[in-house]
A and B are shown apart, each in its own frame.
Chain A
Amino acid sequence: MKTQIITVLTAFLLVFAMAAPDVSAQTVPSFPTCANPQGTVTASYSEGDHGVPGNTGTNTGSDTVFELSGDTTMQCFCADNGDGTQTNWWHAASLTDEEVQILKNQGWIVVPNGELWGLAEGEWLTFSSPYACPASNKSDNNSSDNNNSSGDVLGASTDPGGSVLGLASTGNIAMIYGLAGVGVLSLLAGFLLRKISLP
């Protein structure tokens, strides 16, 4: 019976332990999104075939590159069919091999020589994620932004309401699962304790 009580208490601890935040060993720079790009346009093409790290197929569409800082660049590729790929480029020259391996396990791809991609020479880490963009046969009111190659900064990073640490949480599914899970465990604990108390 003591074993059962210990099992129940352990289950409680596991529920709360699972809610603990995942701490990443790396401090990855923050990148904006292609939906609201920041930085300075360094290259812009409204059509043609373009390279995307990790994608060996033919990538036909528009491509715009934004320099965010000396070490970070963002590439926004939009295929003709509306499938977009945002690639974050990070010139992390000071990372150790172990740190690079951790990032590779998280989905980052190593580009050995950025110079071949029009960037500074040396090793770059890239991370690509999909987004949806206007297909080439649809009217695109944002096309003037994508064709801007004059070096203008396309967006100011002004917080709309002071210090904004994160976007609003608009879901409560974790709370629902948590309440239901802890509720079931409580019922189980009550049942086990009742069994113990019976002569």
Chain B
Amino acid sequence: MRSLSKFFYLLGVMLIFSSAYLVWQRHTPTRLSFDTTSVGEGSHVSLLNSPSRIRIERLNIDLPIIGADLEQGKWQATDRGVSYLTSTALPGEMGNSVLYGHNWPNLLGRLVNIKPGDLIEIQSSDGSLRRFRVAYTTTVTPDQTHILAQTNDARLTIYTCSGFLDSKRFVATAILEQ
């Protein structure tokens, strides 16, 4: 009985430390960590034209962009910045460019405060800068994948988790400024 008691004490301490670590992770600045995420096979993105940085000045968001893929329906994600779904259009080209990131305070936690009319800047590896003006914001459920559909304009769709226990997705849609 005493051994069982010690087991539960140890388990409880480990679980609480784990949750504390996750809380710390959400609040620390971007950390240098070795992430094996890379641009997947079959992607049309080359190192020269890949989006490298996203800035939303009004929200004080300035983060690196890291290529990500869908592998058998599973989303790659990074905790070092914002993920760019490489199977979608390059930001600035015709179509819907999809970006997403954790809703942590050090990443896209402030994205929920974005409003139509706000400016989003995407810098590419070749140094070019493209500006997008937010047109819509909405909150959807995770199964509403229509927001990923390709379009006949050049737009950016960026989203993060929101709602009770992260049960929803906050989506901002921005159109390329010519």
- Hey, which bits of chain A sit against chain B, CB under 8 A? 30-36, 38, 82, 84, 86, 129, 131-135, 138-142, 145, 154-177, 179-180, 182-191, 193-194, 196-197
Contact = CB atoms under 8 A, between A and B. Distances in A.
Interface stretch (B45-53, B55-63, B145-153): B145-153
Given A133-B116, A173-B165, A179-B22, A156 B149 contact: yes
A145 B153 contact: yes
Contact of B1 (A32, A129, A159, A196): A196
Q: Identify whether the interface residues of B are mostly helix, strand, loop, or mixed.
A: mixed
B150 A174 contact: no
A32 B2 CA distance: 57
B32 interface: no
A186 B12 contact: yes
Given A132-B136, A141-B175, A169 B13 contact: no
B171 interface: yes
Interface string B1-23: 11011111101111110110011
A135 B16 CA distance: 47
A162 B42 CA distance: 13
Interface of B: 1-2, 4-9, 11-16, 18-19, 22-23, 26, 69-70, 72-73, 75, 77, 83, 85, 87-88, 96, 98, 100-103, 108, 115-117, 133, 135-140, 142-153, 157, 159-162, 165-166, 169, 171, 173, 175-178
Given A30-B144, A197-B1, A168 B77 contact: yes
A135 B116 contact: yes
Contacts of A155: 149-152
Contacts of B157: 35-36
A169 B142 contact: yes
Nearest 5 pairs between A and B by C-beta? Answer: A171-B166, A171-B161, A183-B15, A186-B12, A161-B70
B77 A170 contact: yes
B137 A186 contact: no
B173 A35 contact: yes
Contacts of A135: 116-117
Given A155-B152, A159-B145, A169 B166 contact: yes
Contacts of A171: 102-103, 160-162, 165-166
Given A186-B11, A190-B5, A161 B135 contact: no
A21 B169 CA distance: 17
A165 B73 CA distance: 7
Contacts of B7: 190
B8 A33 contact: no
Contact of A167 (B26, B149, B159): B159
Given A33-B147, A129-B138, A177-B165, 4 more contacts: A31-B144, A35-B173, A159-B145, A167-B145
